[in-house]
Structure 1
């Protein structure tokens, strides 16, 4: 299968590193013009440079803004009025004893992981439907379905994101625009390395720490290793393509078999 996104522009939030940067790189490799977002101009510039090194000739722009606020979203809209592919990857996570999660933390997780995506969909979906083509992809998590005891505020936010995705898919019904969620399993990123070392012995070398984390905290994974960001990106690139035109309103799993279910 040859996926060709030439002539399309794609916006990937939270794309200065990790899964977001891998997704942006995969989209650029398929010919899309890519917009990176993040709060740090320096990190965005470094990410854009890395992407261009990996995909020579790639059309890449970067917009520094805080998408957890209406003001930051407005800055993005001014710079990028419309897109063909919207990938809502921005998110935060962390472990916290359930009874110690404060009201403020609950709101922060909802605002960052859910409302930032809803806000962008509200802006970018109408031009897509008028055009008759578009892709909205929300990066969810296995934690939406298997709520971790140590991070239920995160799990809650990703469950809400699945619901929002399904609802917006209904709003876009019959327009040529698809809206889907990608359920990412435990993935190897810099942030996840820090998270792993919160839960296992910090003196362990990374490969042993990863195996210990999977054994103790994610034993149901059939992959029995962390997923690489490029593996998540491959699914996103496919769902962004013409070939995925009949997939909408779905929660597509790239979870290494983590969720013990025969349906998404």
Structure 2
């Protein structure tokens, strides 16, 4: 599924096309996504999109009266297309813009979402999220405090959106390898200096993934239709049994929290 870098790449891709554009029409072909599309969302018609933000894996289309919240789910994608192009199967939502372009949402599995947040309020899907990984609030002291006494595996811990948002399975694997930390190690038993290194590596891995255009997954292409390129740079994810890029020992794989975890038993302690 699209993770934080892919969502950020989508934001960067659509923002130049939709910012300062008036929404002339909202077309909903299938309202049954992860949650039913609320009738309140139609308030966006006639509004100007002032900015496009990202919070965790949610895209926020901000207007003067409220914000449309978009989640790509497992297989969702956004395209900016000329008006008049017929919709294809799984094209569930269109935002028609005064420019003559259409922001089109495609989602074969329908695990994504389109929601509405009135101005000066916070939707429940956003209200309990942890800090953004690139923010100053996500730092070594913060992670040390959150990890204190925790027996949870560090991989599960950093994938918890209450701890920090946007560290999905791919980037948890990559960050832990970069920091030399075994994914099963208990969060509360990791030395402060190693947690500090992990914070730095999470920021670096995510930033590099965004720079490279997001990881290419079978269901993901970014807003201009081109796949991302970070998959070419993955060190361990999806490479169980292959030589470790550091020591050449075969990479191991285990299920942690029902998710595949690939790591080097020699380099990660």
How would you bin the TM-score normalised by the shorter chain?
under 0.3
Q: TM-score, normalised by structure 2?
A: 0.26
Select the structure that is richer in strand. 2
Give the TM-score normalised by structure 1: 0.27
Please state which structure has a larger fraction of its residues in helix: 1
Q: Which has the larger radius of gyration?
A: 2
